[in-house]
């Protein structure tokens, strides 16, 4: 076989084939300096790899459907792994009248998400409550009003300019925490929403959002106040507004998280 002229290109092509064979479909070039938590296991993909991983790339999490067998490389093959963006409308269409988990039995409406499809910030909460279930919109109750204040009074951004969604799209009975199987059934949709929007920053509201997006189990006090990455996008964790309604003393820590978020956007 003819030897490629550029050894760097050949090396890159080798790596892209390697990750494609593992089932990765997205590879994003990271625009950021390494996260302060880059040495922790929560901020990076977990596929086993040879020891000389290329430094300039952040590898997305694998999809549930492995890609077919490898095809021979070519020059354009280097960029073939970058999938086109799905529209939010297409994702909502796929969700349909979802019956993928038992939460479908008690819900009134599916709460998909709302806001700017080109938002610079995506807020991800846990799941809909009673008000959201009634109206089909995320964060419209008391916690929603507090989130609106955080966005509009704290960040000085109109709420319609950001995008807001939840890990699960249907209200759990008595507002209990979503169970593992429910999160597993639903998480593809929030991941696809984020992939579609590709915001500059993600703000995970509360432990469920943080643990789901980062695949980590930690107390909120240890999770917040630091930067992580979700598929190459900076992610910060802060308290869920519903928790702040119960414990207003955490508002000052939340404000400090929001200031970090603002500084990241400004930078």
> What single-letter DSSP state applies at residue 8?
H
Q: Which of 124, 162, 165, 168 binds ligand SF4 (CB under 6 A)?
A: 168
Half-sphere exposure of 238 (CA within 13 A, CB side): 23
DSSP-derived secondary structure for 46-107: -----S---TTEEEPPPPSS---S-----SGGGGTTSPPPPPHHHHHHHHSS--SSGGGGT-
Task: Map the footprint of ligand SF4 across residues 69-108, applying CB under 6 A.
Answer: 95, 98-101, 103-104
Closer of 32 and 98 to ligand SF4 (Cβ): 98
Least gap, CB of 240 to ligand SF4 (angstroms): 18
- Read off the tokens for 136: 């089909």
Burial class (CB within 10 angstroms; exposed 0-12, middle 13-18, buried 19+) of 8:
exposed
Decide: is 192 part of the binding site for ligand SF4 (CB under 6 A): no
Is the CB of 100 or the CB of 226 nearer to ligand SF4?
100
Applying CB under 6 A, does 126 fall inside the site for ligand SF4? no
- Which parts of the chain are beta strand (E)? 27-29, 57-59, 114-115, 121-125, 163-166, 201-205, 227-230, 233-238
Closer residue to ligand SF4, CB minimum distance, 149 or 181 = 181
Q: What is the largest CA-CA distance in the chain?
A: 67
In terms of Cα–Cα distance, which of 165, 151, 163, 114 is closest to 254?
Answer: 151
109 binds ligand SF4 (CB under 6 A): no
Closer residue to ligand SF4, CB minimum distance, 166 or 238:
166
Structure token pair of residue 213: 């997006």
182 touches ligand SF4 by CB under 6 A = yes
- Smallest separation, CB 45 to ligand SF4 (Å): 24
Nearer to ligand SF4, 86 or 120 (CB): 86
> Does 237 interact with ligand SF4 (rule: CB under 6 A)?
no
Interaction of residue 185 with ligand SF4, rule CB under 6 A: yes
Cβ proximity to ligand SF4: between 139 and 228 the closer is: 139
Residues within the interface to ligand SF4 (CB under 6 A): 95, 98-101, 103-104, 110, 168-170, 182, 185-186
């Amino acid at each position: 076989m003819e030897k490629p002229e550029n050894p760097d290109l050949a090396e890159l092509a080798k790596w892209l084939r390697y990750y494609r064979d593992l089932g990765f479909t997205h590879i994003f070039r990271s625009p950021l300096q390494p996260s302060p938590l880059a040495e922790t296991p929560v901020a990076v993909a977990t596929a086993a790899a040879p020891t000389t991983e290329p430094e300039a790339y952040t590898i997305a999490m694998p999809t549930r459907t492995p890609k077919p067998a490898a095809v021979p490389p070519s020059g354009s093959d280097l960029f073939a792994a970058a999938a086109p963006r799905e529209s939010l409308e297409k994702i909502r269409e796929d969700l349909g009248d979802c019956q993928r988990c038992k939460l479908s039995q008690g819900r009134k409406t599916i709460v998909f998400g709302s806001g700017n499809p080109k938002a610079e910030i995506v807020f991800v909460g846990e799941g809909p409550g009673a008000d959201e279930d009634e109206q089909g919109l995320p964060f419209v109750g008391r916690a929603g009003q507090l989130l609106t204040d955080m966005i509009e009074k704290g960040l000085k951004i109109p709420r319609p300019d950001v995008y807001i969604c939840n890990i699960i799209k249907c209200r759990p009975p008595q507002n209990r925490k979503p169970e593992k199987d429910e999160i597993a059934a639903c998480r593809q949709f929030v991941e696809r929403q984020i992939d579609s929007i590709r915001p500059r920053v993600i703000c995970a509201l509360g432990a469920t959002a943080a643990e789901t997006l980062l695949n980590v189990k930690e107390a909120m006090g240890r999770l917040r106040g630091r930067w992580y990455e979700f598929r190459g996008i900076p992610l910060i964790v802060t308290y869920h507004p519903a928790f702040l309604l119960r414990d207003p003393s955490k508002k000052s820590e939340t404000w400090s998280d929001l200031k970090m978020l603002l500084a990241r956007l400004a930078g």
